[in-house]
Structure 1
Amino acid sequence: MAFGIAIEKVREMLDSPVFATVATIRPDGCPQQSVVWIGRDGDGPLFVTAADNVKGRHLRRDPRVSVLLNPPGTPYTYAAIRGTATLERGTGRELVDALSIKYTGLPFAEHNPQAAARATDLITVRVTPEEILGRTF
């Protein structure tokens, strides 16, 4: 794994309520981006998605993924994590609740009852970093 940024700073960003932009690869080879709540396991980011949504379908077909962290209070600070995604069924509900508390202070069903009712097949996406680049101040 190549590091172009101090891993401690990346861990701090992943542990804070900073939003992440996740890029997956569409069938035509173009990137597709979306904003997600992000967590951490060791040095790798993790997030939740629905198994049947665009991100889930893209990652099942091609597990290459990029995660960009850009804290709003320090706009010239960022970490770009490129790696491979592993999809885990059966763990998404626990993680979405933990991330919801991290970002909103409430369990997911309390924060967004309509989305929680629709979210029936959540998967955890674990990113194994291959390269981490960025800039901190």
Structure 2
Amino acid sequence: MDEEIGRKIQTLLDQHRIMTIATLRPDGWPQATTVGYANEGFILYFLCGLDSQKAANLARDDRVSLTIDHDTPDITAITGLSMAAHAQPVTDTAEAEKVLRMLSLKYPEQVPLPMPMPTAKDVRIFRVQPTVISLLDYSKGFGHTDLVNC
């Protein structure tokens, strides 16, 4: 991967904390929802209620698409990224504890709340491992993207 593109992807991931993630419903239609995330490099983590449609979708098919971006009044300044990825539940207690610390750092204004562990019956932590990342940068031309295979 080109170093500059890798740095831009990392910067976008580190600067933001909300993503829109699409899972596949049983009827085959995508379902997009907004979730908070923390990241370690290009790997993202998010929390999901186990009784949610998103969790049911992921139990059937772990493929996801997601976007991370921000609003700008200048169309030529649009930047963001999208990913094709796989989302797997975190089952290791040490990894879960690390992710919960990362989420606390990403959301420092959040009042500390009891957080889920891999054995929780109502909330699960998911790890999102990208397979393809598309970096959108309109400053290089309308709709310009750089594609990175992971």
Whether TM exceeds 0.5 here: the answer is: yes
Q: Distance in 1 between matches of 2:110 and 2:125?
A: 19
Q: Determine if contact 1:37/1:47 at 8 Å carries over to the other structure.
A: yes
- Which residues of 2 match residues 58-73 of structure 1 at below 5 A? 58-73=57-72
Deviation at 1:126, TM superposition (A): 1.0
- Residues 50 and 128 (structure 1), Cα distance of their counterparts in 2 relative to 1, 3 Å cut: same
Structure 1 unaligned residues grouped into runs of 5+:
none
- Residues 71 and 50 (structure 1), Cα distance of their counterparts in 2 relative to 1, 3 Å cut: same
Alignment partner for residue 87 of structure 1, among 82, 86, 89? 89
RCO (CA 8 Å, sep 6+): is it higher in 1 or 2? 1
Q: Determine if contact 2:17/2:38 at 8 Å carries over to the other structure.
A: no
> How many residues of Structure 1 are paired with residues of Structure 2 in the alignment?
128
Structure whose CA Rg is larger: 2
Deviation at 1:71, TM superposition (A): 2.2
Pairwise CA RMSD of aligned residues?
A: 3.0
Matching residue's letter, 1:133: S
Identity, % of aligned pairs?
Answer: 28
When normalised by structure 1's length, the TM-score is: 0.74
* Matched position secondary structure for 2:8: helix
- Residues 33 and 68 (structure 1), Cα distance of their counterparts in 2 relative to 1, 3 Å cut: same
Residue 147 of structure 2 corresponds to none
- Residues 92 and 36 (structure 1), Cα distance of their counterparts in 2 relative to 1, 3 Å cut: farther
124-133 or 100-109: bigger deviation: 100-109
